[in-house]
């Protein structure tokens, strides 16, 4: 996983995983120049697009300062930004961008042009023009002038194909003949005017500059035709536009010395433009919203070139266009000031990227290499002595000398962390066998603003699984500390922070040891309860939090969890996202009979507004919850658990929204029924009978296994140590047609879309239909998790063939497994009996289980053990209901474990 490790600003592009913002967001928007009305206060709840829509609806201040009737002044727009993050974040980034302009040298590039160069793909002009115009207008109303350069590749291809011209490429470069260039000029001009017109409609002045900026020579006329290589950039037209109060809108057309128009790659043109303007940000807007890891498929948060470039370029998946793009960006950044960075983001995330710590796409920057060294070896450093002399409060106040601090470093095992320019220095004391303490954290203002502190802290966190540290209660970086702590509380003017310890009792024991040994001040015991942040009065200091920043990966334990007693069992609220399918319907029924769970929200786009008749505990109606609705509910802790019953590839925005809320104090558990997170190491894989039962009791992110994968793994797990490593086991599975999912049918008398199967019994007739004969995702899922049961997590492989049959629900799977030694059938059965002896949802039998016995049952059945005459191949049969133990029942097991109930609470034990 690529990590942030540099000193460059993250404002252009940052983590897609939103950073915690505890204690930075004001309880109400205030400003010296103007006040927002009650209606304005509502805007704090809006997301990026809603902010843009509100600006468009109410009108925008003109670029030259005049305000239209009903328009919005700059202060109001700034406060609209607070809805994206915190006031602290917004003002910090505005200060950075403003400072960038002030620092521009006289007689050089016009200061306003040094903010950002935005390269916009042609597809965005077709599909996202409105959002793009809103984002650019937003920036302009803040006094910022991004220089915009756009392409038009998709539009050009469409016209060429319509005219019978097949686009031709060589080495990824479009071969441009005179006819192609003539069409390209027309298309570029049309797209340029389309964007400037959209901006003008919003009251933002924009100037089209289709030519006149780039001078070029032929790249290779014989090979590529009328394609240019830029030799000069004339910034005069850009600066003239900005002086006139207009956003400059450029194309990537160039001219040679004879006046011949040449086609130039838009990415290359953006790079050459950046070399002349030296902007703080170079932003590439595309529909994907970032670069993605070629193996994990995850969006890459940050690439720090000084630290990671060499190793990154050796990765097997970094090839072709990806390798070229990264190399070109490195060559560009090597020529620019170290504070410049490249961002690859989506259009609707532009404001969030520029003005919040959360970020949304991929940030590429040079960075500085980080260092760490034993404290005893570092004490001779003159630079380090200067850092302590200037930044350490104990030294500057006269309480201690640098020599005394260095003496401590020599006497106790410690490590000093930092970056090469010493913008951040941190000292971690770690005596053998004791919990580490960060005794010094000395960032410069540049180190905080440019995120060097984040990078140094990441390295510390790699080295130390748990850590305690303190800071003054009025520390200007107080929010930064809260964001990185799992828990904290404040007493006597100092705040104590920690991560990696979930149990409050253990925290108290550790602190008591610290105080006895003198490693921290004797002011922090006893540890007391917290006041939830959303209930604090204005100005009230948060005293304590056991989970200020819950981790995504199920490592944090809420101290209040655990199996509740029968006399005092707290009720928990559950929200179900995606309720129309068969699994959702079964889960509704299970929660309806659960003694401690209440279903409070059920989301289905097609059923929104209709009552949920199947649920009897209370009146619940279907709603159509958006990603923003879910994020706000999670932030306010309106539910205790979320169940994602959505198709594969759909739930990520919802999960991201809940993750973002968790950084602000949200504590909701997520159980995802899709395949989206079954390979994520930060998620608990929730097959309780085999792995993760104890982990799921501490987890907040649980991925529910697939139905076939559950059957397959339960069949194979007892045999894993006895399989022939030279031959793959195979599983032949047959499922009822409900496993294929549902689709909307005609509506009933109440207007409800009828739920009908995608594949019906009529479709199948009396046949069994094989499908996905190789590389089924459940094959990979099963092999991936079963491999954890082998020594050293070996690369285990199996073969799996799925089939669909004309019965409704129920899976029967036949395992054929080569063995590493001879066995009798009775010995094989004993392996299963030993493995599953105490599992109440598992039934072991001697005969082959019948799929009809599994349908409508909540457990798993196994039987029919037979060993080949050689004694070295076994056949075993397993059966379960794909909608219950294969989905809804297993989901309820995971919910119960995560929420602190008995694992089988709410599961009808008479139907196993």
CA distance 457 to 443: 11
Query: Which DSSP state fits 886?
Result: I
Tokens 């607070």 label which residue? 82
- Please report how the helices 129-141 and 74-81 are oriented relative to each other, as an axis angle in degrees rounded to 10: 120
Angle at 900 between CA 894 and CA 902, to 5 degrees: 70
Task: Give the closest residue to 419 by CA, choosing from 444, 401, 439, 394.
Answer: 444
- The CA distance from 131 to 400, in Å, is 56
Cα 505 vs. chain centroid, distance in angstroms? Answer: 32
**Residue where the block lists tokens 């950084």:** 663
Largest pairwise CA distance in the chain = 92
Tokens encoding 425:
């220095």
DSSP annotation string for 628-671: HHHHHHHHTT--SEEEE---TTSSHHHHHHHHHHHTTT---EEE
Q: Cβ distance 63 to 204 under 8 Å?
A: yes
Place of tokens 């590749």: 153
- Rounded to whole angstroms, how far apart are CA atoms 211 and 157? 21
Bridge partners of residue 875, in order along the sequence: 816, 866
Q: Which of 5, 651, 707, 891 is catalytic?
A: 707
* Residue found by looking up tokens 């100092």 in the block: 494
Q: Which of 463, 278, 284, 292 is nearest to 370 (CA)?
A: 463
- DSSP for 768-826 reads -EE---S--HHHHHHHHHHGGGSGGG-----EEEEEEESSSS-EEEEEEEEBSS---HH
C-alpha angle 667/904/780, rounded to 5°?
75
Among residues 85, 89, 21, 1, the alpha carbon closest in space to that of 301 is found at 1
Alpha-carbon Rg for the chain in angstroms: 31
Nearest to 715 by CA among 624, 816, 848: 816
User: Catalytic residue at 246?
Assistant: no
Tokens read off for 412: 């106790």
Angle of helix 178-201 relative to helix 153-162, nearest 10 degrees? 130
CA–CA separation, 652 and 760 (whole Å): 30
- Distance in angstroms (rounded) separating the CA atoms of residues 897 and 903: 5
Secondary structure E strands in 819-884: 842-844, 860-867, 873-880
Cα-Cα-Cα-Cα dihedral sign, residues 160, 161, 166, 169: positive
Identify the sign of the CA torsion 753, 757, 760, 763.
positive
Which residue has tokens 């920057």?
365
Backbone dihedral angles phi then psi of residue 118, each to the nearest 5 degrees: -110, 120
The token duo for 616 is 């009897």
Alpha helices in 676-721 (DSSP H): 693-696, 707-716
By CB atoms closer than 10 A (0-12, 13-18, 19+), residue 193 is middle
Q: DSSP strand E in 500-629: where? A: 544-545, 572-577, 597-603, 622-623
The residues annotated with a catalytic role in the active site are 707
């Amino acid at each position: 996983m690529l990590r942030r490790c540099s000193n460059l600003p993250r404002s252009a592009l940052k983590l897609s995983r939103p950073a915690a913002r505890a204690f930075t967001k004001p309880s109400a928007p205030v400003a010296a120049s103007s006040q927002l009305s009650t209606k304005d206060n509502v805007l704090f709840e809006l997301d990026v697009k809603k902010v843009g829509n509100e600006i468009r609806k109410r009108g925008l201040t003109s670029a030259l300062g005049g305000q239209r009737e009903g328009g919005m002044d700059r202060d109001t727009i700034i406060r609209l930004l607070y809805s994206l993050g915190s006031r602290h974040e917004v003002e910090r980034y505005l200060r950075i961008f403003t400072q960038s302009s002030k620092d521009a040298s006289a007689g050089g590039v016009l200061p306003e042009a040094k903010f950002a160069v935005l390269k916009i793909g042609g597809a965005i002009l077709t599909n996202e023009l409105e959002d793009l115009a809103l984002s650019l207008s937003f920036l302009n109303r803040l006094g910022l002038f991004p220089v915009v350069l756009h392409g038009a590749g998709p539009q050009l291809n469409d016209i060429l194909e319509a005219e019978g011209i097949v686009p031709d490429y060589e080495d990824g470069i479009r071969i441009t003949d005179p006819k192609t260039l003539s069409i390209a000029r027309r298309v570029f001009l049309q797209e340029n005017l389309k964007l400037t017109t959209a901006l003008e409609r919003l009251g933002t002045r924009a100037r089209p500059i289709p030519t006149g900026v780039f001078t070029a020579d032929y790249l290779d006329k014989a090979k590529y035709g009328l394609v240019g290589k830029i030799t000069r950039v004339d910034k005069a037209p850009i600066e003239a536009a900005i002086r006139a109060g207009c956003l400059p809108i450029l194309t990537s057309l160039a001219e040679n010395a004879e006046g011949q128009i040449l086609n130039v790659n838009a990415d290359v043109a953006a790079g050459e433009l950046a070399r002349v303007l030296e902007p703080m940000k170079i932003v590439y807007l595309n529909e994907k919203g970032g670069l993605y890891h070629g193996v994990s498929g995850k969006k890459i948060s940050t690439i720090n070139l000084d630290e990671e470039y060499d190793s990154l370029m050796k990765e097997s998946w970094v090839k072709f266009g990806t390798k070229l793009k990264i190399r070109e960006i490195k060559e560009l950044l090597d020529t620019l000031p170290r504070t410049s960075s490249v961002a690859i983001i989506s259009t609707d995330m532009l404001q969030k990227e520029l003005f919040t710590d959360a970020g949304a796409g991929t940030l590429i920057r040079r960075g500085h290499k980080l260092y760490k060294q034993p404290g005893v070896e570092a004490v001779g450093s003159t630079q380090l002595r200067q850092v302590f002399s200037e930044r350490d409060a104990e030294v500057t106040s006269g309480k201690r000398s640098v020599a005394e601090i260095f003496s401590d470093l020599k006497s106790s095992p410690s490590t000093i962390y930092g970056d090469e320019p010493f913008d951040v220095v941190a000292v971690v004391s770690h005596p053998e066998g004791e919990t580490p303490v960060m005794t010094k954290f000395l960032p410069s203002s540049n180190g905080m603003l440019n995120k060097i502190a984040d990078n140094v802290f990441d390295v510390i966190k790699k080295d130390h699984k748990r850590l305690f540290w303190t800071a003054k209660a009025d520390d200007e970086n107080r929010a930064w500390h809260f964001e990185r702590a799992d828990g904290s509380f404040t007493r006597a003017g100092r705040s104590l922070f920690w991560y990696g310890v979930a149990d409050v009792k253990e925290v108290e024991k550790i602190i008591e040891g610290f105080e006895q040994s003198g490693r921290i001040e004797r002011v922090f015991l006893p540890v007391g309860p917290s006041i939830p942040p959303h209930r604090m009065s204005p100005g009230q200091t948060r005293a304590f939090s056991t989970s200020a920043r819950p981790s995504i990966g199920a490592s944090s334990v809420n101290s209040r969890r655990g199996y509740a007693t029968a006399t005092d069992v707290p009720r928990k609220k559950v929200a179900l996202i995606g309720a129309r399918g068969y699994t959702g319907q079964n889960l509704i029924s299970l929660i309806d009979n659960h003694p401690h769970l209440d279903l409070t929200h059920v989301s289905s786009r097609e059923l929104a507004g209709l009552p949920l008749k199947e649920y009897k505990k209370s009146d619940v109606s279907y709603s159509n919850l958006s990603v923003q609705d879910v994020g706000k509910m999670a932030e306010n802790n309106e539910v205790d658990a979320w169940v994602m019953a959505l198709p594969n590839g759909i739930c990520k925005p919802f999960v991201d929204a809940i993750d973002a809320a968790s950084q602000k104090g949200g504590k909701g558990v997520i159980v995802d029924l899709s395949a989206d997170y079954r390979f994520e190491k930060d998620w608990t894989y929730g097959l309780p009978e085999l792995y993760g039962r104890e982990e799921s009791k501490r987890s907040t992110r649980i991925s529910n296994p697939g139905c076939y994968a559950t059957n397959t793994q339960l069949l194979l797990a007892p045999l894993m140590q006895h399989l022939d490593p030279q031959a793959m086991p195979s599983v032949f599975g047959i499922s009822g047609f409900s496993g294929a999912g549902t689709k909307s049918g005609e509506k009933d008398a109440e207007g409800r879309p009828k739920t009908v199967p995608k594949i019906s019994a009529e479709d199948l007739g009396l046949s069994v239909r094989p499908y996905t004969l190789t590389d089924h995702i459940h094959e990979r899922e099963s092999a991936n998790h079963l491999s954890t049961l082998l020594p050293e997590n070996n690369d285990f492989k199996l073969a799996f063939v799925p089939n669909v049959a004309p019965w409704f629900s129920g899976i029967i799977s036949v395992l054929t497994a080569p063995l590493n030694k001879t066995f009798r059938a009775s010995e094989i059965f004993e392996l299963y009996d030993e493995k599953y002896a105490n599992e109440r949802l598992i039934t072991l039998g001697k005969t082959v289980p019948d799929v009809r016995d599994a349908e409508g049952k909540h457990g798993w059945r196994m039987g029919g053990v037979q060993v080949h005459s050689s004694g070295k191949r076994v056949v075993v049969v397993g059966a379960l209901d794909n909608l219950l133990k294969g989905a809804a029942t297993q989901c309820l097991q995971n919910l119960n474990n995560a929420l602190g109930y008995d694992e089988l609470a709410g599961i009808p034990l008479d139907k196993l």
